[in-house]
Homo-oligomer: A and B are copies of this chain.
Amino acid sequence: MTPKQGTRVRMSREARRTQLIELGLEMLRTRPLEEISIEVVAEAAGVSRALLFHYFDSKQDFHVAVAGELGRQLLERTEPDPAADPIEALRGSMAAYLDYVCDHPEAYQALVRGAASTDPRMREVADGTRAVMTRRILDRAPALGVPTGPVTELTVAGWLAFVEETTLRWLRESTLDRADFERVITVSLPALAMVVVDPLASN
């Protein structure tokens, strides 16, 4: 589908836009988002700078589109298996989460940091991705006997921050092997749910 570098191919507006976003994602494998300029992407796509601005209003606009695609892919890969029991589904999702993170470390960092971006659209992408992940867990809480309510909601949101912070550190410091780290981010959720969310309290 992707034309060779420098080859001009007549494409629909939507297909061209998607191609440019995928190129941005591909570039994120080797460099941080800030370093992906319109010029560099235009050159790699074999299109003019002016054409790129036809699809994206600004470099920032392009970055938001790339981050949005990232969030979409991460959610797609970590979709819990509906046939598995909730703990098995969690284990599968966290394994897929780390697969994606290891495959796109720069992109993952850009997405997580986007939550604190000054650009509200970037925050929306990061917060929207988190909201879907949180919702998936809350939907499965009753099956585990965990009552839903404000304590559970805070705990799940806090756990996701735990996962993101430890993942960023793990990428940076690599002090644990993959299997041990996967265990940390997986068992932490039931650990918190068991102790923090007291089923006897009104929650």
A residues with a Cβ closer than 8 A to B are 113, 115-117, 150-151, 153-155, 157-166, 169-170, 173, 175-176, 180-181, 183-184, 187-188, 190-192, 194-196, 201
Q: Is chain A's interface secondary structure helix, strand, loop, or mixed overall?
A: helix
| Contact A187 to B196, CB < 8 A, known contacts A155-B166, A158-B163, A170-B154 | yes
Judging by beta carbons under 8 Å apart, are A161 and B151 in contact?
no
CA distance A163 to B116 in the complex (A): 17
Chain B residues with CB below 8 A from A169, complex form: 154, 157
Which residue in B115, B158, B187 is a CB contact (below 8 Å) of A162? B158
User: Most chain-B CB neighbours within 10 Å: which of A113, A116, A184, A190?
Assistant: A184
Q: Report whether A191 and B195 are in contact in the complex, using a CB–CB cutoff of 8 Å.
A: yes
Task: Enumerate 30 A-B pairs (CB-CB under 8 Å) in ascending A order.
Answer: A113-B116, A115-B116, A116-B117, A150-B173, A150-B176, A151-B180, A151-B184, A154-B166, A154-B170, A154-B181, A157-B165, A157-B169, A158-B161, A158-B162, A158-B163, A158-B166, A158-B188, A161-B161, A161-B162, A161-B164, A161-B166, A162-B162, A162-B192, A183-B196, A187-B195, A187-B196, A188-B192, A188-B195, A191-B195, A194-B195
From A190, which residue of chain B is reached at the shortest CB distance? B195
Closest 6 CB pairs of A and B: A116-B116, A161-B165, A191-B195, A150-B175, A158-B162, A158-B166
Residues on the B chain within 8 Å of A184, using CB: 151, 154-155, 158, 196
Closest B-chain residue to A114, C-beta based?
A: B116
In angstroms, Cα B53 to Cα A138, docked, is 51
Contacts of A163 in B (CB 8 A): 158
- Say whether B151 contacts A176, CB under 8 Å: yes
- State in angstroms the CA–CA spacing of A154 and B173 once bound together: 10
Determine if B153 and A175 form an interchain contact, defined as CB atoms under 8 angstroms apart: yes
Tell me the bound Cα distance from A184 to B115 in angstroms.
23
